[in-house]
């Protein structure tokens, strides 16, 4: 059965550079702490953006949603939208990408002093990561099946579905 998550493997992705807090690292060496709030608790916001013919599709709208999401969960960004755009372009350039690419922009509350839920325990500042990969659509897929699952995504008062939150367990359960 085909899925919208099907992809064509691209060996160039084995050597991409990942942006981590202003520095680039080979994908096998890019790391954040296991005490990161996004890793521990799903405490963060992300956006996925596609590069087509050297243009990032709906970039301003994605960045608006990233900033709105961070504001909604009280993560203070010390970057402007222009600085984030420049980080995206720098990541694109270091990876020699001009078409058929995907970027995952991730912001977490940062490294925690204890593995507890209290946001004030993240004292080191945010973690800002960009994972960019060559990503062509799978042209062998000519249809997908729509299925429904018993897993409920969640009510807006428990987890706002408009937020691209790092906490995606409900969606993972639906995929399973």
In tens digits, the chain (176 residues) has pLDDT values of 566 667 788 999 999 999 999 999 999 999 999 999 999 999 999 999 999 999 999 999 999 999 999 999 999 998 999 999 999 999 999 999 999 999 999 999 999 999 999 999 998 999 999 999 999 876 666 676 777 777 676 666 667 767 777 676 777 777 77
The Cα–Cα gap between 119 and 55 comes to 36
Return the C-alpha torsion angle 163, 151, 36, 7, nearest 10. Answer: -80
> Nearest Cα to 92, choosing from 19, 37, 34, 43?
19
By CB neighbour count within 10 A (0-12 exposed, 13-18 middle, 19+ buried), where does 91 fall? buried
The Cα–Cα gap between 171 and 176 comes to 9
The Cα–Cα gap between 20 and 127 comes to 7
Residue 156: the pLDDT is 65
The Cα–Cα gap between 97 and 89 comes to 10
- 55's enclosing H/E stretch is strand 55-56
Say which residues have a Cβ less than 8 Å from residue 101's Cβ, sequence separation at least 6. Answer: 50, 51, 92, 95, 132, 133, 134, 135
DSSP assignment, residue 23? E
> Nearest Cα to 46, choosing from 139, 108, 110, 4?
108
By CB neighbour count within 10 A (0-12 exposed, 13-18 middle, 19+ buried), where does 16 fall? buried
Look up the pTM and report it.
0.88
DSSP assignment, residue 73? T
């Amino acid at each position: 059965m085909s899925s919208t998550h099907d992809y064509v493997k691209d060996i160039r992705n084995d050597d991409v550079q990942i942006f981590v807090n202003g520095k680039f690292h080979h994908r096998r060496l890019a790391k954040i702490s296991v005490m990161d709030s996004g890793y521990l608790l799903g405490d963060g916001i992300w956006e996925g953006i596609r590069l087509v013919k050297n243009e990032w599709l709906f970039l301003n709208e994605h960045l608006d949603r990233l900033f709105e999401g961070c504001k909604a969960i009280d993560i203070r960004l010390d970057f402007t939208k222009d600085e984030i755009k420049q980080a995206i372009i720098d990541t694109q350039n270091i990876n020699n990408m001009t078409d058929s690419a995907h970027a995952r922009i991730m912001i977490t509350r940062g490294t925690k002093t204890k593995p507890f839920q209290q946001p004030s325990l993240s004292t080191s500042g945010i973690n800002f990561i960009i994972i960019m990969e060559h990503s062509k659509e799978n042209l062998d897929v000519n249809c997908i099946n729509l299925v429904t699952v018993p897993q409920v995504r969640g009510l807006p008062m428990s987890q706002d579905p408009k937020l691209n939150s790092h906490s995606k367990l409900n969606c993972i359960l639906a995929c399973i």
